[in-house]
Amino acid sequence: MEEDKSLNFIEQIVENDLQEGKNDRRIQTRFPPEPNGYLHIGHVKAICMDFGIAERYNGVCNLRFDDTNPVKEDTEYVDSIQQDIRWLGFHWGNVFYASDYFDQLYDLAIRFIKEGKAYVDEQTAEQIAEQKGTPTEPGTPSPYRDRPVEENLRLFEAMQRGEIEDGKMVLRAKIDMANPNMHFRDPIIYRIITTHPHHRTGRKWNVYPMYDFAHGQSDYFEGVTHSICTLEFVVHRPLYDWFIDQFVGQVPSNAADWKTGSDYRPRQYEFNRLNITYTVMSKRKMLQLVKEGLVAGWDDPRMPTVCGLRRRGYTAEAIREFIRKIGYTKVEGMIDLGLLEHTIRESLKNTAPRICAIFDPVRLVITNYEGDGETIVAENIDGNPELGTRQIPFARELYIERGDFLEQADKNFYRLSPGGREVRLKNAYIIQATGCEHDADGNLTTVYATYDPLSKSGTEGGNRKTKATINWVECQSCVDVEARLYDRLFAVENPSAEEGDFRDLLNPDSLKVVTCKAEQSLRSEMHRPEVVDGIAQVNHYQLLKQGFFVIDPDTDDRHIVLNRTASLKDNWQK
RNA sequence: UGCCUAAUGGUGUAAUGGUAGCACUACAGAUUCUGGUUCUGUCUGUCUGGGUUCGAGUCCUGGUUAGGCAACCA
């Protein structure tokens, strides 16, 4: 059932370009993460765009790690990023690294110096910042701005040979210190980094290119046609174009015909980044939460990371569907967390087997039930027999939810109450409460009821309607299960908009760990999950009336751990 | 006193000069062996002044508001 969805503005641009025959009607995109953290759902939005455009228009999307800053980057992240993209179901053409182009980039820098377009500055970072001016005031030129070409060449080579201390010199493009776009005020294009080896090139380089000098150039070398990124790069686009103008058609590119006057050039387009209520989408803040132990790790089920969502029980399909729903524009907005939850419920409601678990158990004794008990056969999903059945033990003593019994009930309460209405035990018999018992402190300990032996589900006598159906498990056979009940990470809608420390805004109730009593089938249906690409394939369940749950990797043979993916909607107000 | 973006219900998006639609949320009703699901219905919207046009959310123009831009980060 493919619903008609109009093209987003990037797709329209691509279709126009195709129609006009731009870049020989070739479509090539790239997903360019910096390997300095785990992928989060904001990245997924970019991934769906970059890979989606390539898929839709028979192009190719390459994965390119933007690894120009060895101080922050690590192979740990390179691996997790690839795993997450594969898990999401996308396929790249090649894996590239910005560091693949360090030689070409260095040559380009030399070329710029020779053409008088770059110079070595030996002022401090503070001095350079001061001379940059402000958005409303022009900058002032560096005293080193007019150094002779030979001297620039000699110094830049000395920088690369490791003869200059970190921070003592930088290479700047010589553009325009008075440009209204601050990025044109002689941007730094190379800096010295000797303190950290690069995760791929080791100690080969002592100078590393800055983003503005690496990104567009890498796009050009690879033959990228549509370089799609988020809105904060809009101000960089003129510089992106400026650099490419300096060498387009004069330097090799994988794009065809560069030598023969092809019109090829990469172009940058920007869309709005993803913000979701009650969470943060900043790698820096996430890293802080992880490092300070405020969450259990990058894959903590409360985190908006891909691995966190996965552990929470989100499926790749649901995450992609969510991205499809929110669309792409140039308006900076804030997506309601409720939409993400709605999407995962949609995805699981027709597939997740139902199971009973009692979270706040109280004993129910069926006083007129004779015999040792019986086995009930229930469909895993009501009305969906192809999803199989399971067996549930039934006997005289059961656990039910404490909240399903009220000694004094008003008419809006549909469930058990002494002398009250008939209530269906899910998949079993109709009962009627007759009384209850309390301990010395007045806590309810036992509910007494009688059952109608002819009212069993699936039998003719069982067709009688009841207003309510309640959950139960049989006392002897049920299993204790640890349930981790997750809720929104932050207590406020937009933590980034608040004054003060974002850590003070964490939701203190974002995790509640409880033990519940689940029906035996949860244990018997459990199996060691199959591991694909290092990722355990998980089973999703719906605990009736409680929500969707997924088996957590902390589970072992003795101890079952379930994570709540999402609660069920609850229209019953007290 | 700069430059760049953007502005459609509570939220996210569509309408490409021709009936302002969809999804989420909220609310109401029906159905239901999950107070879930499903179904039906309701509420709420083109930032603003002027102009072009038979006709403007859309084009022009002047405002207003919001966000971004001054890392040896990406």
For every residue of A168-215, DSSP letters joined together read: T-EEEE---TT-SSGGGSS-EEEEE--SS-BTTTBTS-SEEE-HHHHH
Of chain A residues 460-519, which have a beta carbon within 7 Å of strand B?
A: 462, 465-466, 468-470
Of chain A residues 351-370, which have a beta carbon within 7 Å of strand B?
A: 354
CB burial string A457-487: b at 16+ within 10 A, e below = beeeebeeebeebbbbbbbebbbebbbbbbe
The per-residue pLDDT for A2 is: 40
CB of A72 within 8 A of CB of A35? no
Q: Is the CB of A523 under 7 A from strand B?
A: no
Q: How far from A101 is each of A70, A106, A222, A371, A560, CA to CA, in Å?
A: 15, 8, 10, 78, 49
Taking only the tens place, the pLDDT of each residue in A480-495 is 999 999 999 999 999 9
Q: Is the CB of A380 under 7 A from strand B?
A: no
**For chain B, which bases have at least one atom within 7 A of a protein Cβ?**
1-8, 10-16, 23-27, 32-38, 67-74
Judge whether residue A230 has pLDDT over 70.
yes
Active-site annotation holder among A11, A25, A34, A421: A34
The per-residue pLDDT for A558 is: 87
Cβ neighbours for A547, distance < 8 A, ≥ 6 positions apart: A564, A565, A566, A567, A568
Helices (H) and strands (E) in chain A, counts: 13, 27
Taking only the tens place, the pLDDT of each residue in A300-320 is 999 999 999 999 999 999 999
B58 C1' to A8 CA distance, Å: 16
Of chain A residues 133-152, which have a beta carbon within 7 Å of strand B?
A: 134-136
Query: What is the percent of chain A with per-residue pLDDT over 90, rounded to a whole number?
Result: 89
B71 C1' to A125 CA distance, Å: 9
**Stretch A130-156: mean pLDDT:** 96
Judge whether residue A497 has pLDDT over 60.
yes
Which nucleotide minimizes the distance between its C1' and the CA of A429? Answer: B33
**Stretch A224-235: mean pLDDT:** 97
B2 C1' to A461 CA distance, Å: 82
- Token couple for A463: 């067709």
Catalytic (active site) residue A34: yes
B56 C1' to A275 CA distance, Å: 32
Cβ neighbours for A169, distance < 8 A, ≥ 6 positions apart: A120, A121, A122, A155, A159, A192
Active-site annotation holder among A86, A145, A154, A273: A273
With the CA atoms of A109, A112, A116 and A120 taken in that order, what torsion angle do they form, in degrees rounded to the nearest 10? Answer: -10
Q: Is the CB of A208 under 7 A from strand B?
A: yes
The per-residue pLDDT for A534 is: 78
Of chain A residues 41-100, which have a beta carbon within 7 Å of strand B?
A: 66, 68-69, 71-72
B36 C1' to A548 CA distance, Å: 11
Q: Is the CB of A343 under 7 A from strand B?
A: no
B54 C1' to A332 CA distance, Å: 37
Catalytic (active site) residue A5: no
pTM score above 0.90: yes
CB neighbours (10 Å) of residue A72?
14
Which nucleotide minimizes the distance between its C1' and the CA of A132? Answer: B70
Taking only the tens place, the pLDDT of each residue in A51-70 is 999 999 999 999 999 999 99
Judge whether residue A290 has pLDDT over 80.
yes
